[in-house]
Structure 1
Amino acid sequence: MSDSLHFWKTTSGHSYRELVRVREGQGNAAYGQQERVLTALIRSEQRRLDRPLSVLEFGCGFGQHATYLSQLSHVRYHGYDISESMTEPLRLEPPASLRPVEERIFCGDDPLTAVGARRFDVVFSVSTLVHNPSERITALLETMGQLVLPGGLLVLVENPLMPTSVWDPACHPGSWLHAFADLLPEGWDLHHGPGLVETNDVYVLKRHAGQGRRYFQLLGPEAPRDESQPLTLEALHARAMPRLLEWAARANKSMTAPVASSEAKVVELTERLAAESERFARRQRLQGLSDDLARLRASRAPFPDAPTPHAAPPHSVPGFILNASLDTRWSAELPQFSKLMHVFHQDWHGIRAAAGYLPGQKLAITSERVLDERELRAAIELVERSGCRQVILHGYSSNARDFVVLLRRVLGASVRILALWHGSSAQFHYSFELDCFAQLIDLRRRGVIDALATVKPGMHLLAPEVFPKTVLNLPPRLSEAERIAPTRRLTRAALIPTPNDWRKNFFTNLFACQASSRIDDIYVTASYRLPDVMKSRRRIHQVARPSRTELFDLVRRCDIVLNASLSECQPMTGLEALALRVPCIYGPLSLGELDSHPFQKLAQVSGVDSVEVVAAAIERMVALRERSPGELTEMMVDYERALTFEAIKVLEEFVQS
């Protein structure tokens, strides 16, 4: 025990984080499986309790699980560890969702003293108890149990089930394989989940009112505990016997060839040395960023009609924002994307919304001025500390190019860099747009980015480097309380949230609303001039550019949203209206099988520049809402389900391409 305690108290969390990063890069799938299981378990418990959840990780280390669990909505993460050295990265550089860190991360030899009076809905450990001898496990479980609120869960992601506890020094000093079924304290249920993680079994423990111990088969991380299948202790022992035989074979080999144990330690030390060397080299590349940036900007070709960025004034606000509430509040929560970072521009509102609703972490950079060396260095360090293994760049600018080129030079192959283009070929009459897309293709050919995709179908025909499938935008994640009910009375109002330019077709949408007998009030966010002879008796309300929350409120006030534009790439206003259960009229999107969905067929119009066609679409949609609101809502719910399923499937393919 003293060797193990000394090992963890003196191990650097920075170095161990690097070691985990190397293992993930080499294809170790266990870390991702642990994330999926823990996220599913916590979400399941959240649904059961129907309230925010307080969670404690017992043995949090450098924050492998803190990063993604602390970002789950309505989850308040806390961490405890015996080693200040291991928790140093988490305490010095906590995610924004963990601040103030002194109230969330605890260190000390005694967990009850370190945590104080706090108690939690879920207490969990991941490969922590294996570093304690078996004679301490029952007492440790009792201690952990004291930290669990009445009715809460104790979750162990630990060694695979064993019929008896054995010492296994194959990796760190003092590693044990525990027989958790035998070491379970009295008065507890144990739900055993094998096969959910390659290197671990999952044990869900819960106190019961009676005496003795009870055992169950865990059907899955999201399955209710009361649906688990009862097991006997003998059945668990029989299930565990193959693991004991595997251990016996390893132990026999170690005793007949003692050098094997030394070789295992040499392998581990070599692995740690390689990880630490790469960490040092990366720090050197980061410090040398100044020369790289100067060369990069000296070689940049100017765009003829590009907007001129402003130089950063002294003491300016940093040019990036990590995981802002605007970018995470409505995003999809899927554990398989917890190591994905979306990078986009703060000032490009539609693309920012599209990136914000996708699952993963978010980094918003400015396009209004040139990012300086200090800001770029800090942004790269943020990506490194986040633990993200993939980065998707949304849109393109000179700042974006500097960022991805330097990110590749500093982090090398340890991060996968992708780009998602949100434009269309119709915009290429602007040489700026055409040159930006061409530069992305060039970056793909030179290996600076690993994959390039678009949200407009058929763009792969322009260059073979483009991912052949269309990446789909997602609607925002909303609760049922945030959506309008199908029984709500009609307001006879319409919203046109588009700018006034030829592509967005503002005036056709406006005149169609004026021509509709079902619309009395029209809300617009654009500036425009309308001659008196062309004005109608409809009330037009011009509102300043709304914030995201204000836009949602505007949509809720209306019966319909108008976005019948001449050239479109999956309009975000349509997806936001869909999530709020307000229909939107828009032009053809060419989304394959989704175009044949009844709601899509109802919402899309082909003659978008015809006032008559758009007005007729308004009449059809509002008439259906008036005649059969439940039917329309059902169509929208089904379309959102189909769209989300396809969007997640394509996103997974793109990230792994």
Structure 2
Amino acid sequence: MRDSTQHRIAPELEPDPSHGPRSDEPESSQYWKSTSGYTYREMIRNRQEHGSRGYAQQEQLLTTLMLTEQRALSRPLDVLEFGCGFGRHAAYLSSLEGVRYHGYDFSEAMMEPLRSAPPVGLQPVEERLWSGPDALTAVGSRQFDIVFTVSVLIHNPPELLPGLLDTLGKLVRPGGLLCLVENKLVPVGVWDNGWHDGCWLHPYAELVPTGWDLHYGSGLMETHDLYVFKRHEGQRRRYFLLSAAERAREETREVTLESLQVQSLPRLREWTLQAGEALRGAGRTGDMRVSELKERLDVELQRSARRQRLLALSDELAQLRSESLEAPRPAASSAPTSPGHVVVTEGVVVDAPLDTRWAHPEPRLARLVHIFHQEWYGIRAASGYAPGHKIGITASRPLTAADHRRIVETCEALGARAVVFQGFSPNALEVVHMLRRVFGGALKLSCVWHGSTSQFHFDIELNSFSRLLALKAEGVLDGVACVKPQMHQLSPHIYPDVLLNFPPRVAPEDCRHRAPATRAALVPTPNNWWKNFYSNVSVAASLPRIDRVFVTSAFASSPEIPLRASIVNVGPLGRAELFHLIRESDVLLNVSLSECQPMTALEGMAHGVACLTGPISLGRLDEHPFQKMVQIAGTGALGDIRSAVSRVLELRDRAPDEYAQMLEDYTRILCADAVNRYLEFAQP
């Protein structure tokens, strides 16, 4: 028997009734009809925690294949997973740029987690998910660029395979691909074992229909092989070898069926040895069944204990409140643009449009959940642009037991592997303890501190930061990171690298790299001393290239200080309104005296508008020409600020292509580094 971690990834299919009477339905169908998707998801999670690498390899291969095909077609890619189950592959594929994921499964029980908490990119659900005994009936007349399965066909006996391949082929639109991530290649079909009430090894090379090519990929995954089927105009069956998922559309080296059969012999030999052991071992099938039932029982016990802890939230809430610290005010960099700018009507919001519309898709972070405070404008923006799911809590009032329950149930429904708290408050402290008590060590809990040591003159900031380090030392938190560099000098409990914020993801048409000059500048900061508000406004309003200066805070002018440009106070802005104003500006100014990673700079960069800042130490990015151009060492020196603004505007007018390329290259490097830091820090 092979290790069960190498088998089942998505539920198996009930056969099309046209392929035979109901009595021919695989015995394993009842297994999947009666298996809860929540239970099976927990089984997969446990296997991964115990070192099973096959799942990650499958996800990487499918991600590469989808993105490569989307780039080749240069249009949105319609994808159907045949046997989608609880949505393991939906969780990351639906977040890919230009990929429209769809899922089909015959088991409603297995699909329940996916239907109840679909990924952000899987909307509207009723048009993207289908179930029923027959895929062709459920899906209707729709066809797809890629139809794929993962460990689905192995749960159907050999006599059903020709009919199933015919069904899959009908779902592939002309020129599309049928991709099977299934068992290792064998020359003949054989019964493998009784895991999940039946597993077979199928000879896919022998099963290629007339008029199709098979591109066979071996060695791309430890536990499975890749089979890519493509139609051609002839009446032959052709065979090619794949060396990588990126080459799935290419006609690589053609081989013969006989040579593939020779390649398949090692897997058959392995099966022969296993079969011999099974014949020699008395009660081997019974042992296999007991092992499988024990795995399910362990998971059900874990889920039952979790539900009991969830029911006890109300009783524990009072105890947690006694441990709470004084409510901290938002850090300077995270405060709302103006008092009352953010109105919170719900204690908890999940994947709100404001927090997902501009997020970067990243499959490897699809099971990461960010928890932030709805009122803290800057931190909410930083959280909203990052990959992963979003839970917004309130900081303005205590959370209720129902709020806590919703957070826990959301993490459960999403299959979260890691939670990152963006910012810290008494409410966040309660949620940290709740998630740790309910999930134990199955969920990685970390926190990102968005402040700096200059804010420690506020006692509450110092106390909050100290509490975070204590939680890490006690093992309640798995990690603490900062967006200000070299904060690990304070404590060994701090992640040594600076965690990078993401810019918003905007459509290409919203980027104005090469647009005509508007002769306007924007200073979108609060009017306070550490934001250096008057310095930014005064410099911008004195430049001959600037006729208007937009500000979002009240500005008191003085007749003794002449300003060339007019000052336009637009007041507090929503996110979309702010982005529109950025596109109406030639330059942004945020040369503050104390700063971490200003969101204004990232938002401007995403829209093709440079933002002047003070020095921000970001490692290798400090050497990039764009960062050198926009950062000012002497944040209090008006002449230095004026020279830097003039330099940016001159380059933009003189060499718009060079200016655009500089911003695009910087954005690409920043986003790649930001993803890698999150992967290392949060480890979802």
| Same fold at TM > 0.5 | yes
Aligned to 2:300: 276
Q: Is the 8 A contact 2:27 2:198 kept in 1?
A: yes
Q: 1:642 to 1:65 in 2, by over 3 A?
A: closer
Aligned to 1:323: 351
Aligned to 2:604: 577
C-alpha separation in 1, matches of 2:172 and 2:310? 43
C-alpha separation in 2, matches of 1:547 and 1:505? 22
Q: 1:90 to 1:485 in 2, by over 3 A?
A: closer
Deviations 1:205-230 (A, max 9, x none): 22222212222223433346125333
Q: How many residues align?
A: 648
Q: Is the 8 A contact 2:518 2:585 kept in 1?
A: yes
Deviations 1:21-79 (A, max 9, x none): 22222222222322222233223333233333332221122222233333445544332
Q: Is the 8 A contact 1:303 1:435 kept in 2?
A: no
Larger mean CA deviation between 571-580 and 269-278 belongs to 571-580
Amino acid in structure 2 at the alignment position of 1:505: N
SS of aligned partner of 1:21: helix
C-alpha separation in 1, matches of 2:495 and 2:155? 46
Amino acid in structure 2 at the alignment position of 1:577: G
Aligned 1:205-604 pairs, distance under 5 A: 205-223=229-247, 225-226=249-250, 228-303=252-327, 317-486=345-514, 488-604=515-631
C-alpha separation in 2, matches of 1:106 and 1:628? 52
> Is structure 2 residue 631 aligned with structure 1 residue 607?
no
Cα offset for 1:543?
A: 1.1
> Is structure 2 residue 34 aligned with structure 1 residue 10?
yes
Q: 1:193 to 1:335 in 2, by over 3 A?
A: farther
Q: Is the 8 A contact 2:104 2:131 kept in 1?
A: yes
Cα offset for 1:99?
A: 5.5
> Is structure 2 residue 60 aligned with structure 1 residue 39?
no
Q: Is the 8 A contact 2:542 2:564 kept in 1?
A: no
Q: 1:229 to 1:520 in 2, by over 3 A?
A: farther
C-alpha separation in 1, matches of 2:502 and 2:542? 32
> Is structure 2 residue 65 aligned with structure 1 residue 65?
no
Q: Is the 8 A contact 2:326 2:460 kept in 1?
A: no
C-alpha separation in 1, matches of 2:675 and 2:107? 39
Q: 1:218 to 1:606 in 2, by over 3 A?
A: same
Aligned to 2:203: 179
Cα offset for 1:93?
A: 4.5
Aligned to 2:645: 618
C-alpha separation in 1, matches of 2:587 and 2:405? 46
Q: Is the 8 A contact 2:480 2:494 kept in 1?
A: yes
Q: Is the 8 A contact 1:522 1:541 kept in 2?
A: yes
C-alpha separation in 2, matches of 1:290 and 1:401? 16
Within the candidate set 145, 150, 153, 2:177 is matched to 153
Cα offset for 1:532?
A: 3.3
Q: Is the 8 A contact 1:218 1:225 kept in 2?
A: no
Larger mean CA deviation between 511-520 and 193-202 belongs to 193-202
Q: 1:326 to 1:229 in 2, by over 3 A?
A: farther
Cα offset for 1:128?
A: 0.7
C-alpha separation in 2, matches of 1:66 and 1:344? 25
C-alpha separation in 2, matches of 1:586 and 1:91? 45
C-alpha separation in 1, matches of 2:599 and 2:179? 40
Larger mean CA deviation between 151-160 and 422-431 belongs to 151-160
Q: Is the 8 A contact 1:189 1:206 kept in 2?
A: yes
Deviations 1:468-511 (A, max 9, x none): 1111112222343321243x322221111111111111110001
Q: Is the 8 A contact 2:512 2:583 kept in 1?
A: yes
Aligned 1:49-88 pairs, distance under 5 A: 49-88=73-112
TM-score, with structure 1 as normaliser: 0.94
**Runs of at least 5 residues in structure 1 that lack an aligned partner in the other structure:** 308-315
Amino acid in structure 2 at the alignment position of 1:343: I
Amino acid in structure 1 at the alignment position of 2:350: L
Larger mean CA deviation between 41-50 and 165-174 belongs to 41-50
Within the candidate set 620, 630, 645, 2:672 is matched to 645
C-alpha separation in 2, matches of 1:526 and 1:116? 56
Deviations 1:502-526 (A, max 9, x none): 1111110001112222222111112
Larger mean CA deviation between 39-48 and 491-500 belongs to 39-48
Cα offset for 1:252?
A: 0.8
Amino acid in structure 2 at the alignment position of 1:294: A
SS of aligned partner of 1:264: helix
Amino acid in structure 1 at the alignment position of 2:237: R
Higher relative contact order (CA 8 A, sep 6+): 2
Q: Is the 8 A contact 1:163 1:179 kept in 2?
A: yes
C-alpha separation in 2, matches of 1:444 and 1:16? 31
Deviations 1:76-117 (A, max 9, x none): 433222223322333444446545544433222222122223
TM-score, with structure 2 as normaliser: 0.90
Within the candidate set 10, 19, 30, 2:54 is matched to 30
C-alpha separation in 1, matches of 2:472 and 2:419? 14
Larger mean CA deviation between 147-156 and 452-461 belongs to 147-156
C-alpha separation in 2, matches of 1:129 and 1:63? 17
Q: Is the 8 A contact 1:354 1:572 kept in 2?
A: yes
Cα offset for 1:297?
A: 0.3
Deviations 1:607-632 (A, max 9, x none): 11122211111111111222222222
Deviations 1:119-144 (A, max 9, x none): 22322111110001122112101111
> Is structure 2 residue 132 aligned with structure 1 residue 132?
no
SS of aligned partner of 1:605: coil
Q: Is the 8 A contact 2:96 2:362 kept in 1?
A: no
C-alpha separation in 1, matches of 2:147 and 2:329? 57
Amino acid in structure 2 at the alignment position of 1:472: L
C-alpha separation in 1, matches of 2:360 and 2:157? 41
Cα offset for 1:334?
A: 2.0
Within the candidate set 177, 201, 224, 1:200 is matched to 224
C-alpha separation in 1, matches of 2:302 and 2:542? 66
Deviations 1:226-260 (A, max 9, x none): 25333322232222221111111111111111333
Amino acid in structure 2 at the alignment position of 1:350: G
Q: 1:51 to 1:335 in 2, by over 3 A?
A: same
SS of aligned partner of 1:180: coil
**Runs of at least 5 residues in structure 2 that lack an aligned partner in the other structure:** 1-24, 332-343
Q: Is the 8 A contact 2:526 2:552 kept in 1?
A: yes
Q: 1:317 to 1:176 in 2, by over 3 A?
A: farther
SS of aligned partner of 2:578: helix
C-alpha separation in 1, matches of 2:214 and 2:45? 32
C-alpha separation in 2, matches of 1:52 and 1:370? 44
C-alpha separation in 2, matches of 1:378 and 1:33? 32
CA RMSD of aligned residues (A): 2.2
Identity of aligned residues (%): 49
Q: 1:198 to 1:339 in 2, by over 3 A?
A: farther
Aligned to 1:113: 137
Amino acid in structure 2 at the alignment position of 1:346: Q
C-alpha separation in 1, matches of 2:64 and 2:571? 41
C-alpha separation in 2, matches of 1:227 and 1:513? 58
SS of aligned partner of 1:341: strand
C-alpha separation in 2, matches of 1:196 and 1:355? 34
